[in-house]
Structure 1
Amino acid sequence: MGGREISTGQVIKVAVGTSLGTTIEWYDFFLYGYAASLIFPKLFFPPSYNPLTALLVSLSTYAVGFVARPVGAMIFGHLGDKLGRRTGLLWDLILMGIGTGIIGFLPGYSQIGFLALTIATISRILQGIGVGGEWGGATTWLTEYAAKSRWRAFWGSWVQQGVPIGLLWASAILGLFATFPSSSPLALLNYGWRIAFWIGAIAAVIGIVIRLALLESPLFERVIEKGEVSKIPSIEVWRKYWSKILLLAASWAAQNAGFYLYSVYSVTFLTGIGFPKSLGLLSVTVSALIGIFITVLFGILSDKIGRRLGMMIAFGFGLAFSFPYVLLLFSKSFSIILLAQTLMVVAVLGSYAIIPAFFAENFPTKYRYSGTGLSYHMAAPFAGGLAPIIVADLVGEKYLVNWWAFGAVFAAYFIISLIALAVLKETKGKEMD
């Protein structure tokens, strides 16, 4: 493997480095989602604007980041398959930090009108391009280090910890400003959200320093030694593997859509039915913390029973739970709502643990960064980006009447992914070349 023997200690170092970087990127990404739902409709629109219209437009700027993610996967997949995983991952973190920092300094509508929303949208595009290059590179880098391990999915699940930890971080920071100090109930709206974005930009700098200390992927070094580096990897992988890319994208669409419905829209829904915003954020925070352990357990499970079966178990449960989940939110009991959030985490984060190994095992080394990144992010505009907007539009402000639409959209995405998984082949135990 590129002339280097890989020890468990080296795998752990890369696992820590990649998971820290993805945590920072997902914190920034989720933070914008919360801000688009809870802050921007009040900050970037005139007071006369219809609240629902402002929410839908604000969520649309959030969705732009998802549209940009496949572009980022193409750009950084090309860099990563030509110049190395480490190089691609450094530059996408730089881009993410810039986008996040700009948002933190934006004035509101009262100062510069709709120009504020325009700049926020452009910054969101930068975030989307950055996160588009992150996942494919991080999973590729780590799974290639763990290529000889029989616990490949377990190691791959370390990258996925960035999602629940990033979500935990974002919801905790905003939840803190929503409840403290008690003498300033508008702390979150006035300055709290800005501090949260500044923290993300500073963390990106720290992540860049950490990644500079890590070594290149041994499998990619072997590709360099053999002179097999592709000239245009992100184009060639699409030409050779387009059907597999689309099927893999569909196979995790339920996780992508479900996660953003559970973590972002559910807070809007709970607030709409009269449940305190701070407790809604807390339910997501605590369930995301539990999700860290669920992710590890499903990674281990898929190393035992296989990638497809593990994901199908998670999605099958999610399909059965789609409508009960929404009904439980109406309880307005924190303990019951937390139970509902945690059970939905089993479906969306259990499946998420498996896809790094599953996706990486579907592509050869010379195309792996591009192939995994495209497979992952092709689903983003139509799943995570679109699902909250669809639900917000169908439910509107009639939460008691149109609640069924929330559950129906959940169920539809679970069905799509189960069909795709039925077509794809198992990859557990496959040699990574």
Structure 2
Amino acid sequence: MSQDSSAALPADNTPSSAVAVDHGNQEKFVIDKKTKRKVAAASTIGTTIEFYDFYVYATAAVAVFPTLFFPKNEDPTVNLLASFATFGLAFIARPLGSILFGHFGDRIGRKATLIGSLLTMGIATVLIGLLPTYGQVGIVAPALLALMRFCQGLGLGGEWSGAALLAGENAENNHRARAAMWPQLGAPFGFFIANGFFLILVAVLAHETGDAEGAFMSWGWRLPFLASAIMIAIGLWVRFSLEETPVFKQAVDQGKRVKSPLKELFKTSTGPLVQATFIMLSTYTLFYLVTTWILSYGIGDRSKGLGLSIPYFEFLQLQLGTIVFFAIMIPISGWLADVWGRRNTLILASILLLIFGASFSLFLDPATASNTSVFIFLAVGMSIMGLIFGPMSAILPELFPTNVRYTGSGIAYNVSSILGAAIAPFIATWLVSSYGVAQVGIYLIIVTAITFVAVLTMKENKSNDLREV
């Protein structure tokens, strides 16, 4: 292993926020309560901002971009698929972001890298709110939109793993999943704020019917993107106040950093990398089916079997009402993962997800579906999502050693986003138009079966010390 300790921090394994306590033959860090609160706030606020930016785009990809950023087409499904293609572009950028930010996260530290990832995605989001439309500049509009979307993905590629490590590496072993669940709450929080913002705009600007004219489509849709600037400022203020994690500081002091984390990752941890990618696969597929695809299906044409014809305003209300189930299940899943184990929690979630995949036609068949059935479908899906997503910020980092943990967990998380999320809305839209909504459930079952195999092969890591991995 090529090591680099020339820039090591002072030879003191214990930072000011952590106290080393000797329990027999095992030394462990005890993190003070003030630091715990600060880390929880920083990891949650940061990922909330990142996911807010991501969801603002996802919502606009269904309701705004097909009309304003692409040439008019007789078949609206073509423009929707084109919009989903730009949506998926960010997922291609995310593994690149995990390599870029992972390199610096494993080389110079978690704190500085997290600030860089936040700025990358935040600036791209603000710029989307300033872009000209297809009617103004022609083909340049979707090209610029795609570029900004790529930058969004680049930033998010480095955000999640850094936030997960910030929380997990500042936690005691027996509470790590509960501590690491804080950045996971950024997903429902960001989704709620993003969609809530759109819901308010739709109501205030009289866009309830989803028409292509009026204030909302002229300028109102830009406001959620521009408002990201305020959230970025808050996130930066919180993150600049943080210290480096004790686990990373110890690795630096012991000279365990490597010159090329990516090279070291493939040299020592290829197996865990593949395993982690497939463990995360069904989580991503489920998430983007019940957030992005379901919006296009919910407001789609019932007469053509392409949707449920629920007004856009009503459907946003349904989504916002059910995101609460997602948020509630995340801390529950963190507690289960600490007490019952990571593996057992994921096995339960996978079994429930297989059953859920068989229920699509029951709740979403255009001939029988109602707002009530859609609400139940979303509530169940969001609950399972919380159960399977909550402990991931502990599970994936635990599979990798400290000197490649940022890079390894980030690549696994984001490669699974390509396999599980980037193509999910596209495949689901095609399946509905060609075969019906029940086949979307079959698609979810197949993906879940792959994850189930990966989960069954994983070891239980709840008692592992991250400093010794």
TM-score (norm 1): 0.95
Looking at structure 1, the residues matched to 148 and 104 of structure 2 have their Cα atoms a distance apart, in angstroms, of 22
Alignment of 1:17-96 (within 5 A): 17-96=42-121
Residue in structure 1 matching 2:224, options 190, 196, 208: 196
Residue in structure 1 matching 2:462, options 419, 428, 431: 428
The question of whether the paired residues in 1 share the 8 Å contact of 2:164 and 2:180 is answered with yes
Looking at structure 1, the residues matched to 341 and 208 of structure 2 have their Cα atoms a distance apart, in angstroms, of 52
Residue number in structure 2 paired with 1:276: 311
User: Could you list the runs of 5+ residues in structure 1 that have no partner in the other structure?
Assistant: none
Structure (1 or 2) with the larger CA radius of gyration = 2
Alignment of 1:21-420 (within 5 A): 21-146=46-171, 148-182=172-206, 186-272=214-300, 273-330=308-365, 331-396=368-433, 402-420=436-454
Residue number in structure 1 paired with 2:303: none
Q: Percent identity?
A: 30
In the TM superposition, residue 184 of structure 1 has moved relative to its aligned partner by 8.4
- Residues 183 and 389 of structure 1: CA distance in aligned 2, closer, same or farther (over 3 Å): closer
- Residues 426 and 7 of structure 1: CA distance in aligned 2, closer, same or farther (over 3 Å): same
- Residues 189 and 52 of structure 1: CA distance in aligned 2, closer, same or farther (over 3 Å): same
Looking at structure 1, the residues matched to 60 and 117 of structure 2 have their Cα atoms a distance apart, in angstroms, of 22
Post-superposition Cα deviations, 1:236-283, rounded to whole Å, max 9, x if no partner, equal 112211121111111111110110110111111111121111121222
The Cα RMSD (Å) is: 1.6
TM-score (norm 2): 0.88
Looking at structure 1, the residues matched to 48 and 123 of structure 2 have their Cα atoms a distance apart, in angstroms, of 16
Looking at structure 1, the residues matched to 102 and 67 of structure 2 have their Cα atoms a distance apart, in angstroms, of 37
The question of whether the paired residues in 2 share the 8 Å contact of 1:165 and 1:289 is answered with no
Post-superposition Cα deviations, 1:389-431, rounded to whole Å, max 9, x if no partner, equal 11112222x6xx6112221222122111111111121111112
Higher helix share: 1
Secondary structure at the aligned position of 1:252 is classed as: helix
The question of whether the paired residues in 1 share the 8 Å contact of 2:173 and 2:465 is answered with no
- Residues 352 and 48 of structure 1: CA distance in aligned 2, closer, same or farther (over 3 Å): closer
Q: Kindly tell me the number of residue pairs found equivalent between the two proteins.
A: 429
Post-superposition Cα deviations, 1:156-176, rounded to whole Å, max 9, x if no partner, equal 111100001111111111122
Looking at structure 2, the residues matched to 292 and 183 of structure 1 have their Cα atoms a distance apart, in angstroms, of 28
In the TM superposition, residue 222 of structure 1 has moved relative to its aligned partner by 1.1
Post-superposition Cα deviations, 1:108-142, rounded to whole Å, max 9, x if no partner, equal 11100111111010001100010000011110111
Looking at structure 2, the residues matched to 48 and 342 of structure 1 have their Cα atoms a distance apart, in angstroms, of 35
Looking at structure 2, the residues matched to 212 and 201 of structure 1 have their Cα atoms a distance apart, in angstroms, of 17
Post-superposition Cα deviations, 1:283-336, rounded to whole Å, max 9, x if no partner, equal 221211221111111110111111111012112101101131453134543333
Looking at structure 1, the residues matched to 420 and 443 of structure 2 have their Cα atoms a distance apart, in angstroms, of 10
Secondary structure at the aligned position of 2:418 is classed as: coil
User: Could you list the runs of 5+ residues in structure 2 that have no partner in the other structure?
Assistant: 1-12, 20-30, 301-307
Equivalent AA in structure 1 for residue 293 of structure 2: Y
The question of whether the paired residues in 1 share the 8 Å contact of 2:364 and 2:437 is answered with no
Equivalent AA in structure 1 for residue 323 of structure 2: A
Looking at structure 2, the residues matched to 316 and 184 of structure 1 have their Cα atoms a distance apart, in angstroms, of 38
Looking at structure 1, the residues matched to 216 and 180 of structure 2 have their Cα atoms a distance apart, in angstroms, of 35
The question of whether the paired residues in 1 share the 8 Å contact of 2:208 and 2:312 is answered with no
Looking at structure 1, the residues matched to 317 and 358 of structure 2 have their Cα atoms a distance apart, in angstroms, of 22
Give the stretch that moved more between structures: 6-15 or 184-193: 184-193
Looking at structure 2, the residues matched to 105 and 78 of structure 1 have their Cα atoms a distance apart, in angstroms, of 32
Secondary structure at the aligned position of 2:105 is classed as: helix
Is 1:10 paired with 2:35?
Answer: yes
Give the stretch that moved more between structures: 418-427 or 117-126: 418-427
The question of whether the paired residues in 1 share the 8 Å contact of 2:207 and 2:216 is answered with no
Looking at structure 2, the residues matched to 255 and 369 of structure 1 have their Cα atoms a distance apart, in angstroms, of 20
